[in-house]
Structure 1
Amino acid sequence: MSFLRQTNRSLIKSLRKVKGWPSLVTHRLHEKFPEMLGHEVQGIPVQLYRHDQNFHTVLSFNHFVEFFSGIPKLDLRVQVEAFSHKGRSLGRNEIVLQRQGALQVDLSGLFPDLDHFGLFSVEMKVRPKFIPELSYLGTLHPHFMTVFLPQDKLSSPQMIHSHKLRQGHLLMPRLHRRPSSLLEPIGDLQNLEFYFLNSSASLINAQLNIFDSGSGQQLGARKMKIPGYGVQQIRLAEKDLADHAKDTMYRFEYLFDRSVDHKKPILFRQFKNQIWSCNHT
């Protein structure tokens, strides 16, 4: 039994060392044959969307290649794919960011059947494939902002930069523990809503641990299963917050049984004056 366990551990360590080899090989090929393969655009970022009574989601793009280079010769083709909160694909749509352009797109305009919340991914391609004057830029990475527009007239738009990547491969089991640096004052809050994103194709088990930041005492835990490319919402309503003293400061910790790239849940908080804010945790 110990021999099998040791063999499995050695295999997992070996796979972890070579798991990045496809992107490394692709990078080397793009470096060697740029005219044939074109500019390398690496990574497919993912982010949360909301489409409910509190928020809808707008994607904000600018022509970042021209911003850095000053050379207006490239079109950016953006392919957006949306998923339900259970990880079911809702389809793909392509938009073109023209030269010297900027664009804001309401996600519900691209996908009329959006779920109340879910995950979307953004893949970018460039046309023409290769421009020699831009070769010094090297590998390009997609950039965009996700804007959560509130339905009420009190809250401000909430913006999040998206850089965590979609993982197309299945993940090996590996416990990952991530403490959050946030402290949340209970006395000011009406709701806390956590959105856990599974950026991989694997089913993952996750857990939210809640602590009193002063005493270190664990106040609660919420377990969840998140399907591939799915999103799980954990909501702490006013009645849950009322179980603790008003001067309590919450501290959080997240557990994952696989190493997903998106390890920071998106937290929306509603204050007692009804104003919303959100951020990575």
Structure 2
Amino acid sequence: MTPRPSRPVRLLASALTAGALLITAACSDDGDGGSGSADVTGSPSADSPAAASGAALTEAGAQAALVTEADLEDDWSKVTDAATWRDKLLVGTVDVADFLTAKADAADCQKLLDSLHGEDLLGKPSGASALTGFEQGDSRLLYQVAAYDRAALDDSFTWLKSLPTECDSFTVTDGKDKRTVEVIETSLPEEGDARQGLRVTVRGTVDGAPTTLTLDVAAVRVGSDALTVTAGGLDGDESDSTKQAAKLGTQRLKDVQAGKTPSADPGEQD
């Protein structure tokens, strides 16, 4: 789940039921969108939503680069309130006592939780950004794409790569309850110029009942633009859908950067 992009922006207000994600709503503009049309092989027209090759990502281009239901496996359904999603299980303060020697690691772990909750995993975008979301049972998938400052983006990927070591296991408290958090590295398709996959598992309680939140996270850089995918919930892991979104989303972003309109049919993509 989540950037907004300091990255991809900040995002629930609803409990999906006793066994579902606890979330609080936050007002924000609805950034969903991005259904594509047939591939365009020629140069884009002046009013094309695609960004010309080498040009900065535009708002229209970012929208066109968003994945759609056709890009995802299983039974994901697009929602209209993705920009308001926030998971309360991610809210809390890292117990610094867990970090006996490297106290700075506690700050990195706090940043991870805050970024996932605020959906700005890669920091604030420097240019255009867009997001969309999907639901499947008690799971949610948030997809974001944005333009970033290249140096800051590289720093964000360096930070992400350090998390499985620095934040492999730690404790969080919200002043009332304690939760344990585990972070491991996951594999992603060999797409883009840089990529990082994580699985974040949060174990705690909801209404007094033991609860486990599992989030699969993917970040892929393509030039100075990047996409992030955060998928999961109380139903378990969503690694397959995360990888699918990262793979096909990268191709959509590359098409936009090349001045093409992404295909509406993922089977037509290279």
| Fold shared per TM-score above 0.5 | no
Q: Which has more helix, going by share of residues? A: 2
* TM-score (structure 1 length as normaliser): 0.23
User: Which structure has the bigger radius of gyration?
Assistant: 1
Indicate the structure whose relative CO is greater, using CA pairs within 8 Å and at least 6 residues apart.
Answer: 2
